Structures are given as structure tokens and as C-alpha cells.
Amino acid sequence: MTPELQRVLWACYQCWASSPVPPDQRMICYEWISGAYRDKFAADFHQSRLAALVKLGFLRPGHSVRGGARRYYTIVDPPLVERHLRGQ
């Protein structure tokens, strides 16, 4: 996994973990993730990086809204992502 994808995954997990809803109902979207990413790394990333995380099995696409302009994702295995981010 590239360093950029690692950082995107970190932002995904931070947004997911900070959600007030029960874990099995948590969703994340690019807008929320990009804000966390920008705050932490002072940079932006392209939305296609989320598709790369889907291909790697970390994210699962959820539903789209706004005529398909906003796609939501879920984290497939949060404990696995947390261990991966810790380097275990």
C-alpha cells in the first residue's frame, strides 16, 4: 500500500470511529474524509483513492445520493483496519 493510500485509510478510519451512530450503521463519504485528511496532512487527495481502498478490500461502497454525486462507504473490517494502521 502506498503512503498516500495509508493516509487516506487513516482518514477513513478516523471519520468512521468518530461517528456517533452504532458501528454497524456507520457510513463515511469523501467530503468528510477529505476534511480529516486535509486537517492532518495539509493536503488533498483524489476521490479515486477510495475506489483503490475498495479494491484492496478495506472499504465497501454503500448508497449514492444527490444524483450519484455523493457515494457513501462502510469499513469492511474495522478491527483489521485499526491493526493495519498500527502496523501489526
| CATH of residue 77 | 1.10.10.10
pLDDT of residue 66: 62
Number of domains in the chain: 1
Q: Write out the residue range of the structural domain in which residue 36 sits.
A: 3-86
DSSP 8-state symbol, 58? S
| pLDDT exceeds cutoff 60 at 88 | no
Stated pTM of the model: 0.89
Q: How many CA atoms lie within 13 A of 46 on its CB side?
A: 4
More confident position, 67 or 15 = 15
Q: How many CA atoms lie within 13 A of 47 on its CB side?
A: 11
